[in-house]
Amino acid sequence: MDASSIMATLRDCPLLAFPSWSAAGIILAYFAYLALAGFLLPGKVIPGVLLSDKSRIYYRCNGFVTLLLLVTLLGVSVASGLLSPALVADKGGELLSTTLILSILISSLLYFSGCISQSTTTSLKPHISMNFIHDCWDIIAEKLGFMLVFGDLVWVPFTFSIQGWWLLTHTADITKAAAILNVVVFIIGYRVFRGSNKQKHIFKKDPTAHIWGEPPKVIGGKLLASGYWGIARHCNYLGDILLAFSFSLPCGASSPVPYFYPVYLLILLIWRERRDEARCREKYKEDWVTYCRAVPWRILPYVY
């Protein structure tokens, strides 16, 4: 593909538009719904991570109910003519640019409020007020700053869905065999990704639990070398990469644009794998060396 073709693709991109008040209204209405639903809908209340001041924040786990209610409300609104089913598609660019500005404003507010706060803790704790935002590993490790605000409001929603945005203005003809192959790639990726993470979760809860019907092989008491984790040291990354490519394959091979997400993810996970290897080598020392001998492949067996 030459430069003129790439520029034409960018000109046709539905994500290139200026911010608008209507887009701001959509975003704020969505946030308001999440806040109200998170506070009002029922759910199991669980304690969050122990904070630096030795306190805990309690969270109501009602995300699935919140999602079901949102889908129901959207369906009723579309059926009654209150909302267009193509609302997000029609205003994609406006939503992107408006959300970008909003993420900068939120990050600035968090930063300056943290600077003037007299609290020994940080304003960047995993909640705003009334526990509207639930905790997750990213927030525990990174705090709620620009990286997470921009990443979760702008980067992830709009770049990880770039295949769908591309298909709004382009067509891709694929054969039945290619479609079947794509489904196979998705199923394998999903099984590997979810299966490996589930095995690690089960092992952490019960180190004696069987993996694939057999007692687990454990190195040093903490390193699982059975199941997916006996195939590659980061088999979950392999599943994630396969899933990413399965999302882009329906777009065909006429443009590199739909493959931005899987290529980006591939680079990111290889870098993360290198970082994880260094950390694990430092943490587990000789046990990690033994594990690497037992499981020599990093992500893709017989390749890497």
pLDDT digits (tens, 9 = 90+) for 100-152: 999 888 888 887 877 776 555 554 444 444 433 444 445 555 566 778 888 88
Residue 57 CA to residue 51 CA, distance in Å, equals 8
Neighbours of 226 (CB within 10 A): 18
Model pLDDT, residue 253: 84
Token output for 76 = 């009723």
Q: Are residues 247 and 192 in the same domain?
A: yes
Is residue 272 within 8 Å of residue 237, measured between CB atoms? Answer: yes
Picking from 154, 122, 131, 103, the residue whose alpha carbon sits closest to that of residue 35 is: 131
Structural domain harbouring 218: 175-294
Picking from 178, 113, 172, 100, the residue whose alpha carbon sits closest to that of residue 143 is: 113
Give the pLDDT of the chain (304 residues) as one tens digit per residue.
Answer: 555 555 555 455 555 678 889 889 999 999 999 999 988 998 888 887 777 677 788 888 898 999 999 999 999 999 999 988 888 888 888 899 899 999 888 888 887 877 776 555 554 444 444 433 444 445 555 566 778 888 888 888 888 888 988 888 888 888 889 899 999 999 999 999 999 999 988 888 888 888 888 888 888 888 888 889 989 999 999 999 999 999 999 998 888 889 999 999 999 999 999 998 889 888 888 888 898 999 899 998 888 8
Q: Are residues 190 and 145 in the same domain?
A: no
Picking from 239, 219, 207, the residue whose alpha carbon sits closest to that of residue 290 is: 219
Q: Are residues 185 and 87 in the same domain?
A: no
Q: Are residues 18 and 53 in the same domain?
A: yes
| Amino acid at the residue 142 | E
Q: Are residues 148 and 34 in the same domain?
A: yes
Residue 131, domain member (yes or no): yes
Determine whether 81 is exposed, middle or buried from the number of CB atoms within 10 Å of its CB (0-12, 13-18, 19+).
Answer: exposed
Residue 300, domain member (yes or no): no
Q: Are residues 50 and 182 in the same domain?
A: no
| Residue that terminates a domain, selected from 132, 159, 186 | 159
| Residue that terminates a domain, selected from 112, 130, 159 | 159
Is residue 169 within 8 Å of residue 175, measured between CB atoms? Answer: no
Q: Are residues 225 and 129 in the same domain?
A: no
Is residue 224 within 8 Å of residue 284, measured between CB atoms? Answer: no
Residue 5, domain member (yes or no): no
Q: Are residues 139 and 216 in the same domain?
A: no
Q: Are residues 115 and 152 in the same domain?
A: yes
Q: Are residues 152 and 17 in the same domain?
A: yes
Token output for 71 = 């889908």
CA torsion sign, 9 to 12 to 17 to 22?
A: negative
Residue 293 CA to residue 233 CA, distance in Å, equals 11
Residue 304, domain member (yes or no): no
Q: Are residues 277 and 205 in the same domain?
A: yes
Neighbours of 168 (CB within 10 A): 14
Residue 96, domain member (yes or no): yes
Model pLDDT, residue 133: 40
Residue 262 CA to residue 159 CA, distance in Å, equals 10
| Residue that terminates a domain, selected from 127, 159, 191 | 159
Residue 7, domain member (yes or no): no
Report the domain count for the chain: 2
Q: How many residues are recorded in the chain?
A: 304
Model pLDDT, residue 129: 42
Per-residue 3-state assignment (H helix, E strand, C coil) for the chain: CCHHHHHHHHHHCCCCCCCCHHHHHHHHHHHHHHHHHHHHCCCEEEECCCCCCCCCCEEEECHHHHHHHHHHHHHHHHHCCCCCCCHHHHCHHHHHHHHHHHHHHHHHHHHHHHHHCCCCCCCCCCCCCCCCCCCCHHHHHHCCCHHHHHHHHHHHHHHCCHHHHHHHHCCCCCCHHHHHHHHHHHHHHHHHHHHHHHHHHHHHHCCCCCECCECCCEECCCEECCHHHHCCCCHHHHHHHHHHHHHHHHHCCCCCHHHHHHHHHHHHHHHHHHHHHHHHHHHHCHHHHHHHHHCCCCCCCCCC
Token output for 9 = 């693709």
Residue 224, domain member (yes or no): yes
Residue 6, domain member (yes or no): no
Q: Are residues 121 and 255 in the same domain?
A: no
